[in-house]
Structure 1
Amino acid sequence: MSFTTGGSRWLDVGLATSARGIATCGEYLAATTLTLSLQSSGAGGRAVAGVLLAATLPLVVLAPLTGRLADRVDSRTLLVGAGLAQSVLCLGLAYAGHPLLVVCLVALLASGLAVTQPVLSALVPSMVRAVDLPRATALNQTAGTLGILTGPALAGFLVGGFGTRVPLLVGAVGYLALVLAGLLLRTRRGGARRSVAIGEGVAAVESAGVGGSAGEQWRLRRDPLLVAMVATLAGVIAAIGAINVIEVFYVRETLGASASVYGLVTGAWTLGVLCGAWIFARLARRFTDDGTLVQGGLLLLGGCCLMVLASVTVPAALLLVPIWLLGGICNGGDNVFHTVVLARRVPEAARGRAFAAVGAAVQGAAMVGYLIGGLLLEVTAPRPLIVGCGVAGLLVLLGFVVPVRRAVLAERARVRQVAAGAGLTTSVAAG
C-alpha cells in the first residue's frame, strides 16, 4: 500500500489529472460524434453497439498485458508513445469513410486507452500521502468527469454546426495532452527504480517487476473484499449497461430531441459524477474501514439503478437532466469509494495490474450490456428496455447484499485478529 513519503506532489497530480481530463474529452468527443453520425445515417442499434464494442473489447482483452506494462515499463515511455499513437488514429478517423475501417480505428484507439488508463490510475496514489488519497482521487475523478461532460456536449454542438470531421480533429489534438504530461511529470513508475526530489527531501518511487516482491505475489482473487466489490460493480454495469446504446434512440427518437439536447442530457449524468466525487471524497477520508466504503458503494449503485428507472417517466428530454444529475452523483460517489479501497489494499508495485484488472471487469460487463441493448433494440422500443435495465440492476444488487456483507464481516474479523496479534507481540517485547 505504499504511498509517497514526505509531502504530496500536487503539481504532478494536477498535470496527471489535467492530461486525463483533456484526453477523456477527446475520447468522448470522438465516441459521441460517431454515435450521432450512425444514428443520423439511419443505422440501427447493432451498428451503435458495434462501435461501442470496438471501443471496449481491447480494454478487456489486453488488460493482463497492459497491466503488467504499467507496472514494468517506464510510465513516461508509455504515456508519450500511446498519446502520439492515439492522436494519429483519431486523425485517421476524421477521414475514414468505410464502416469497417471506422470500427478498426476505434478498436486501435481503445488499445491505446487500455495502456494509458492503468498507467495514470496507478501514478496518482504514488504522488500523495495516504491521508490525501481521497482528495487526489476526487481530483482525478473531476478531471475525467469534466472530460466526459465536455466531450458529448461539444460533439453535439460541433456535429450540428460543422459535421463529423471537425470534432474528430479536435479529439486528435486532445490526445497530445498525454504526451505533454508524460514529458513533464516528475513522478514515474515502472522501469528502473527512481527517486523524486520533494522540497528538501527525497521520495522513492518503487519499481515494479522485482522478483518475489509483494507486487508479484498479489492476486485479486486472494482478497475476498475486493472480489465482492468488483463483482458487485461488474454485475450492476452488465445489468444497466445497455442504457449506453439505448439512450441515443430514447432521447432523439422517443422524446424527439435535437443533437444539442442529446449532448446536454448526456452531460447531466457526468456533471453529477463530478459533484458526487467531491461530496463523497469528504466522507471517504473519515472512514478507515474499507468494509464501510464497500457497503456504501452498494447503496450508491442502488441509487444509480433507481434513477435509470425514473428516467422512463419523463415526457420531454430536458426533464431527464435532474434525474441524470442525481444518478451521476451516486455514480461519482461509488467511483471514489472503490478507487480508494483499491489503492489502499493493493501493493504499489501491483497497482497497474490491479487497475487494469478492475477496468477489464467493468468494461467486460459493459460489453454485455452493449450486446443486450443492440440486439433488443431491433425488436423492442427504448422505453420498456430502460425499465428492464433498472429492474435488472436492482435485482443484481439484492443478490450481492449477502455476499458483500459476509466479505465485510470476514475482513473485520481478520483486522481484529491482526490487531490482537500485534498487541500480544508488543506486550511480550515490553516484558
Structure 2
Amino acid sequence: MSFTSDGSCWRDVRIAAAARGISVCGDLLAATALALALQQAGAGGLVVSALMLAAVAPIALLAPVAGRIADRADSRTVLVLAGVAQAAICAVLAFVSSPALIIALVAVLACGLAITQPTLAALLPSMVRREDMARAGGITQTATNIGALIAPALAGVLVGQLGPRVPLLIDALSYLSLVAAGLLLRTRRRSVAPATVLVRWRLRDDKLVTAMVVAVAGTVAGVGAINVIEVFFVRETLHSSTTMFGLISATWVAGALAGAQLFGRLGRRWTDPARLVRIILLLAAGCCVAVLAASGVPNALVMVPLWFAGGVCNGGLNVFSGVVVAERVPVAARGRAFAAMGSIVQVGGMAGFLAGGPLLELFAPRPLVAAAGIAGLIAVAASITPVFRADSSQREKGPSQAAEPGVSQPLGDSVGA
C-alpha cells in the first residue's frame, strides 16, 4: 500500500517520533497543570470534567474534516501552521484565569491536535518499507509513551514550585517541535490530484479494519472507566498512599513503553493484516484480563505487575493497529483512516469516562473494576466473529481486490532529498 520502495528513512522516523513525543508531553503537561490550577482555584468536579472533555472531544468530532486535511494538504504546511497556531494559543492560556475561557481555548488547542495526529500517522508508512512498519510504529509509540510518562510528574513539580503559568509556557514551546518536524522531514504527502477528486474510502467498506477499530474502541470504553474508578479503588478500597497511586498509574505507561519496543521488533515479519487483527484481539483481551484480575487483589502492590502486563498489551495493540491501517488503506486515504480510528477510540474513551463517575455513586469501586474488565472482554468476544468473517471474505476476493478498498488517485509521497 505505497510504502517506500527505497530503504527506510529512519532519520525521518526519529524526527517524527520526537515531535510526537514532545508534543504529547506538552499536551499532558498543560492538561495536568490546568486541572491542578482549576482545583486550587476552587473549581468543582464538573469544571474539571468539562476541561478533560474539551481536550478530547474535538479529536472525535472533527475526524472527517481533519482526515481530509491530512489527505489533501501538504503535510509540511499542515505541521508548520498547526504548530505555530497551537504554540500561540497555549501562550495565551498561560495568562488566562476565567474557567470558561480556559475550557474554550483548550477545545481550540485540541482542534490542532485533531489535525496533526492523522497527518503524522499517515506520513509514517511513506518513510519505511513494509517489513519495517512495525518497528517504526514501535519507535513512535515509545516516544509517545515517554512523553506521557514524564508529563504528570513534571506538571506536579512545576505547578507546586512555580505555579501553572510556567508549565503552560513550556507547552507552548513544545508545539514548536511540530514546526521543526515539518521543516526537517524529507518525507512529504502532497496531493497531485485535482482538488475535487478524493479517493472513495469509508471505514465501513473494509470489514476487517472496522472489526478491529470496534474491538479496540469497545475495549477502551470498558477499561476506560478505570481512569475514573482507579483513584477511589487504590485510595479508599485498598487504603494506599498517593505515592502508591502515582506508581501504579505510571506502571501502565511503563508497560506500554516496553510493549511498543517488544512488539515493534517482533512484528517485523508479520505483515498479514488478518493475522495482526487476531493478535490485536488477544492483546486487547490481555488488557481486560489485567483489569479483571486487579479487582481481586488484597493490596495495591499486587496491582503493579498486573498494570505492567496490561500496559505491555496496550503498547503492542497500538503498534499493530497502525500497521493494519497502513496495509489495508489506500495511500491517499490514510489521513481519513487514522482520523476515523482515533475518533472512534476517543468516543469509546469518553463513554467509559462518563460512565465511571455516575456508577461510583451507586456501587463500590471493587465490583466496578471487575465490571470494567468484563465489559472489555465482552467487546473483544463480540468482535471475534466479524474478524473471521472479514478474513474469509478477503480470501474469497483474492489479494488484489482485498488490498485496494478504494479507487486510488495519485498522491505525492516523496522520501529523501
By the TM > 0.5 criterion, same fold?
A: yes
Is 1:86 paired with 2:117?
no
Q: Secondary structure at the match of 1:240?
A: helix
Equivalent AA in structure 1 for residue 16 of structure 2: A
Q: Secondary structure at the match of 1:189?
A: strand
CA contact (8 A) 1:17 1:140 kept: yes
Is 1:239 paired with 2:222?
yes
Assess, with a 3 A threshold, how the Cα gap between structure 1 residues 39 and 250 changes in structure 2: closer, same or farther.
Answer: farther
Deviation at 1:218, TM superposition (A): 2.3
Equivalent AA in structure 2 for residue 286 of structure 1: R
CA contact (8 A) 2:83 2:179 kept: yes
Deviation digits for residues 363-390 of structure 1 (CA, Å, limit 9, x no counterpart): 1111211221233344544443322211
Distance across 1 between alignment mates of 2:240 and 2:170: 25
Is 1:115 paired with 2:98?
no
Q: Secondary structure at the match of 2:190?
A: coil
Is 1:286 paired with 2:269?
yes
Q: Secondary structure at the match of 2:79?
A: helix
CA contact (8 A) 2:131 2:271 kept: no
Deviation at 1:76, TM superposition (A): 1.3
Distance across 1 between alignment mates of 2:370 and 2:166: 36
Assess, with a 3 A threshold, how the Cα gap between structure 1 residues 162 and 320 changes in structure 2: closer, same or farther.
Answer: farther
Is 1:296 paired with 2:279?
yes
Deviation digits for residues 374-411 of structure 1 (CA, Å, limit 9, x no counterpart): 33344544443322211211122222222222222222
Distance across 1 between alignment mates of 2:118 and 2:137: 14
Deviation at 1:157, TM superposition (A): 3.0
Is 1:365 paired with 2:354?
no
The range that moved more, 44-53 or 360-369, is 44-53
Assess, with a 3 A threshold, how the Cα gap between structure 1 residues 321 and 26 changes in structure 2: closer, same or farther.
Answer: farther
After superposition, where does 1:396-415 map in structure 2 within 5 Å? 396-415=379-398
Name stretches of at least 5 consecutive residues in structure 1 with no aligned partner: 192-206, 420-431
Alpha carbon RMSD of aligned pairs, Å? 2.5
Assess, with a 3 A threshold, how the Cα gap between structure 1 residues 249 and 100 changes in structure 2: closer, same or farther.
Answer: farther
Name stretches of at least 5 consecutive residues in structure 2 with no aligned partner: 403-417
Is 1:221 paired with 2:204?
yes
Distance across 1 between alignment mates of 2:244 and 2:158: 13
Deviation digits for residues 408-430 of structure 1 (CA, Å, limit 9, x no counterpart): 222233337979xxxxxxxxxxx
CA contact (8 A) 2:47 2:99 kept: no
Is 1:266 paired with 2:249?
yes
CA contact (8 A) 1:94 1:168 kept: yes
Distance across 2 between alignment mates of 1:106 and 1:263: 25
After superposition, where does 1:97-112 map in structure 2 within 5 Å? 97-112=97-112
Deviation at 1:31, TM superposition (A): 2.1
Equivalent AA in structure 2 for residue 26 of structure 1: G
TM-score by length of 1: 0.85
Assess, with a 3 A threshold, how the Cα gap between structure 1 residues 99 and 327 changes in structure 2: closer, same or farther.
Answer: same
The range that moved more, 278-287 or 302-311, is 278-287
Assess, with a 3 A threshold, how the Cα gap between structure 1 residues 259 and 41 changes in structure 2: closer, same or farther.
Answer: farther
TM-score by length of 2: 0.88
Distance across 2 between alignment mates of 1:268 and 1:225: 32
Is 1:393 paired with 2:376?
yes
Deviation at 1:329, TM superposition (A): 0.3
Is 1:326 paired with 2:315?
no
The range that moved more, 136-145 or 84-93, is 84-93
Distance across 1 between alignment mates of 2:65 and 2:96: 29
Distance across 1 between alignment mates of 2:159 and 2:247: 14
Distance across 2 between alignment mates of 1:381 and 1:41: 29
Equivalent AA in structure 2 for residue 108 of structure 1: V
CA contact (8 A) 1:273 1:331 kept: yes
Q: Secondary structure at the match of 2:2?
A: coil
Equivalent AA in structure 2 for residue 267 of structure 1: A
Distance across 1 between alignment mates of 2:150 and 2:392: 41
Deviation at 1:102, TM superposition (A): 2.1
Number of aligned pairs? Answer: 402
Q: Secondary structure at the match of 2:78?
A: helix
Deviation at 1:103, TM superposition (A): 1.5
Distance across 2 between alignment mates of 1:77 and 1:382: 47
Counterpart for residue 10 of structure 2: 10
Instruction: Give the one of 320, 335, 340 matched to 1:352.
Output: 335
CA contact (8 A) 2:221 2:350 kept: yes
The range that moved more, 260-269 or 404-413, is 260-269
